[in-house]
Structure 1
């Protein structure tokens, strides 16, 4: 779509990075990762017992999951980026914001 906006074709051999710089449109994957990171920090800093905070700590009643590859959980990306103690990191808001780049970079590499 960005090529069409600039009137370019694939035959022009202009890299996608250059096209992205010309249009100035932010990458949707990076935007989604940044929003997820900010929302996770917001939810973890809550102390009022709402369900959104409680659901992060929830474990299945049976204590284990079904056989096969486990489905990805919402927090798995965050754990992979900063480690298992990510909920404690959220209490320090400036430090949490500084780690945002790690998750965004991870999502960009995955594609």
Structure 2
């Protein structure tokens, strides 16, 4: 979509990263990290009897042989480590949001 807006085709051999930088758009991977951390903070602030909070503490049990499947919590811990946020700090969304908020041009545009 950004390619069309920029008037650039694949024949111009300009990378998607360069186009995203031109428009000031964060990569989709960064936005996914941000969304996961935001959801985790939301779950931590929920009451203990809520299904979403109970689901965090459930054990997945014994899996099939071979390599273990990638779990959501494993990915989340990597995101927390990359953002330099301790597990306990994720509870306070106001403090941790500065560490994980990525540039989003729509947010800047709507804030005017």
Name the TM-score, length of structure 2 as normaliser. Answer: 0.64
Are 2:57 and 1:57 aligned? Answer: yes
Are 2:70 and 1:72 aligned? Answer: yes
Residues 43-99 of structure 1: per-residue CA shift (max 9 Å, x gap)? 012124101000001014xx533221111111111212336x62x333333443244
Alignment gaps of 5+ in structure 2: 103-112
| Structure 1 residues 2 and 58, CA gap change in structure 2 (3 angstroms) | same
- The RMSD of aligned alpha carbons is 2.8
Structure 1 residues 7-26: aligned runs within 5 Å: 7-26=7-26
| Structure 1 residues 82 and 4, CA gap change in structure 2 (3 angstroms) | closer
Match of 2:38 in 1: 38
Alignment gaps of 5+ in structure 1: 105-111
Distance 1:95 1:23 in 2: 28
- Matched residue pairs, number? 98
